[in-house]
Copies of this chain bind each other. A is one copy, B any other.
């Protein structure tokens, strides 16, 4: 057994652990799932989990990280499949983000415990998420510049600006305040306004 195989197996096991943890976190919440339970799900002792992760929070962290990445991949795909105009792509991005947020919250409200934990103790992860979202926006802006739809001078700066305008739809913080329908209407209206502002004069 060489080093490469070893690492591959370790990674595989880590993923198995993360999947088990995710399932527990979603159903019972972070606080109510024990290391012993996660361990049992993957047929090992609780002690052995520490050969793969620093501690319980670390599991939550990597779990969230994976969730966010998966979500981001889905969103990125949706955007690429979206129609040919940059405006449509931006709209797809916003609506996909919004829906993912709302769906996730609806499906498992326990997930909020995780989100709170992570955004409290691992600001870096949230910043990464923002960064990734801005990167997608930047791509859309560049695309808009190419098609002549937009006229954006500083793409990086503008991607941050656009993201700041869209915060309401990208963060699951205002979930109770508006209905899904209200959220979607607002999202569409904001996109319209932004597109108008980005448009070539």
Contacts and interface: CB of A to CB of B under 8 A. Distances in A.
Most buried by B among A166, A190, A198: A190
A164 B168 contact: yes
A189 B162 CA distance: 9
A31 interface: no
Q: Number of copies of this chain in the oligomer?
A: 2
A123 B193 contact: no
A165 B161 CA distance: 10
Chain A contact residues, majority secondary structure: helix
A126 B177 CA distance: 9
A74 interface: no
Interface string A168-201: 1000011011000000001001101111111001
B126 A193 contact: no
A168 to B, nearest CB: 5
A92 to B, nearest CB: 18
A136 to B, nearest CB: 18
List the 8 closest pairs (A to B, CB-CB), nearest first.
Answer: A197-B197, A196-B197, A161-B189, A165-B165, A193-B197, A167-B168, A164-B186, A165-B190
Interface of A: 123, 126-127, 157-158, 160-162, 164-168, 173-174, 176-177, 186, 189-190, 192-198, 201
